[in-house]
Structure 1
């Protein structure tokens, strides 16, 4: 029989739970012994190593690409390829993308347990697709400067591939591309200004985050093929929403940096209250509805908002020693309260 592999902390938790169940006569000692014998402590977290290794590998691919523009020898080689038609480069990248998607899908089919290597293949396919779409834009011409059509193309491609290949990673890239498309399209419509319909970028993306979150909660649940990506969309939507609200609390709805720099921070207190209230409301909602994501994101951004206001209002007016002393005390109190809550849950 295959044993359950856990770390030492998890083993201690399971042992405490089994001891409690025996004491409460929920299970007999013999069953408890069988359960304990089926638990084994894993010596090394190979899963985490695999995850980090694949992400580092992907990062190295990106760094290798960026290094091309630093290395003089490679630059000379790249310059010799300037006469290569954009159409040929785009076609080559499409072939690479198809190859990576095929390998990723095939590997996922035969090795579904190797999720990290599967997603790494998909990620390489995503990068190749983005490059192919970019060069395709050069072929078609973007003299008007409207690159949003290219991003819209990549969104459609990523969405179709995510559904066909069942890849959460590609769906995440689709949502990121959707955000970039939204930014470029609104910028293009405003003649590349920072204000669109009287809204700067943080305010625009606040509404965008609300829309993505709402569609995840109420739209995707009704479409069967999109249901597997509902959680991912919900999390990304919350990120868009809460990060945008936080930026809005800092910059307000100002579209000019010079004007914003001359404004006293207390003039933006309304946006700060809005951002903090939204995070607090999300935290309360998460606790009431047992929504882990709303609760955790809400709590994190409540803390971020509170400390952001602290830095904004007291960094220039308070003695540094007192400033950091208060900061230390506040974190100590937060940690102490968190420990009390944790101990209370543990006793239950």
Structure 2
């Protein structure tokens, strides 16, 4: 087989797995057959070249904007670059031969992110302070553009960007505080919990519909479920913290624990690994948080860690025993 044809088949099989059309085992088998490892090196070189070109281009744009000291000029230039990246990416993903589907999707996503930056620069002259309302509006607009692109051209990466922008626009934020510390917060966790629960349920419906009339949107529902469960559990976790400033903390602790257990049960019944996984992870976080809040100041550090470690070992042994009995 000619090397070019082998590389094409290797790229196609990788794209099939990326879009969720084949399993990981089938993808690995096809990768060995068509020498995907050697093809991946050429793909890596292409990605490095693309990254270098983008970085150089944005560096030149930054120099021009800084020299002009005009936010409006910078926004216009960045907006033109965003449109160019988006258009080129759409052309690549719409190629009938599907020669560069992943690269095209990446360019579209970068173009949409650049559009948010352009809108930010263009709105700076309106006021001296970049308030939260303007921040939320621009993120929501970017989310709408990204979602429209994702559904129009069947691209998952723009949908990922859309959900990130949407949830951050609704009041979720995080930042790096230095020294290995990260800070996260949700402006209104109660409202966010409701929205996230609706998003997760919509994702479960979307996944079911992808087996029929929405088969061309395979993988979209998975993103909705992941983001919905993440922000739902994080919102309830924040509300259950005694230091978060909410009243009726015990009520939120019980609700958070019940939701985690419900996710585990629903995941087992529906055979949905994401529900089970998020339920187990956040139930563990819940138990650790309660243990930390009630016993950290009463026990020495060594005894605290010893009890926590022994508890984890005992729970792991019980789970493994139960799993073995269930499969026997």
CA RMSD of aligned residues (A): 4.5
Helix, strand or coil at the partner of 1:81 = helix
Residue 90 in structure 1 maps to residue 75 in structure 2: yes
1:123 maps to what in 2? 109
Instruction: Give the superposition deviation at 1:201.
Output: 2.3
Unpaired stretches in structure 2, ≥5 consecutive residues: 11-28, 173-185
Contact 2:92 2:101 in 1 (8 A): no
Mapped partners of 2:104, 2:225: distance in 1: 23
Contact 1:212 1:234 in 2 (8 A): yes
Cα pair distance change 1:143/1:302, threshold 3 Å: closer
Mapping for residues 13-92 of structure 1, pairs under 5 Å: 46=37, 80-84=66-70, 86-92=71-77
Mapped partners of 1:296, 1:109: distance in 2: 35
Mapping for residues 194-273 of structure 1, pairs under 5 Å: 201-217=188-204, 228=218, 229-251=220-242, 254=245, 268-273=249-254
Instruction: Give the superposition deviation at 1:170.
Output: 1.1
Unpaired stretches in structure 1, ≥5 consecutive residues: 5-37, 69-73, 185-198, 261-266
Contact 1:252 1:268 in 2 (8 A): no
Instruction: Give the superposition deviation at 1:40.
Output: 9.3
Residue 284 in structure 1 maps to residue 270 in structure 2: no
Cα pair distance change 1:320/1:77, threshold 3 Å: same
2:22 maps to what in 1? none
For 1:303, which of 277, 284, 293 is the aligned residue?
A: 284
Instruction: Give the superposition deviation at 1:123.
Output: 3.3
Mapping for residues 184-199 of structure 1, pairs under 5 Å: none
Instruction: Give the superposition deviation at 1:213.
Output: 2.3
Mapped partners of 1:239, 1:150: distance in 2: 23
The number of aligned residues is: 275
For 1:157, which of 145, 163, 168 is the aligned residue?
A: 145
Helix, strand or coil at the partner of 1:269 = helix
2:180 maps to what in 1? none
- What TM-score does the superposition give when structure 1 sets the normalisation length? 0.63
Instruction: Give the superposition deviation at 1:118.
Output: 4.2
Specify the structure having the higher radius of gyration (Cα). 1
Structure 1 residues 78-127: Cα deviation after superposition (integer angstroms, max 9, x where no partner): 8843533x333222222222232233334334575866544432332232
Mapped partners of 1:81, 1:242: distance in 2: 46
